[in-house]
Amino acid sequence: MHPVAPPTSIRYRSRRGSAARHPQDLTDVSGYPHLIAELPRRGWPDADITLLTWGNIQRVLRSAEFVAGAAGERRQPSTAMIAELDG
């Protein structure tokens, strides 16, 4: 991956219930620590690992912020109480 694409262009994610095949130990997000631990052994510099991990977190947060903003434009925040919803 690293020699082909810069860390800022790499995305990693997990899809629960996906029929897609996953590498061993990376079937869900619990395998991410294994992935990150392997990168230095494969020659990734710390700066690039930081860009990969923090960059991915920033991308997710920006996306969540966009979705929240778009939802806020469509409707008012809910005032329902959990006890009311659980009935």
- Tell me: pLDDT of 53 over 90: no
Rg (CA), the chain: 18
- Say if CB 13 and CB 4 are below 8 A apart: no
List, for residues 15-46, the tens digit of each pLDDT value. 555 556 666 667 777 888 888 899 999 999 99
pLDDT band at 76 (very low <50, low <70, confident <90, very high): confident
* pTM of the predicted structure, to 2 decimals: 0.51
Q: In the chain, which ranges are continuous DSSP H helix? A: 32-41, 46-74, 82-86
Q: What angle do CA 59, 44, 46 make, to 5 degrees?
A: 70
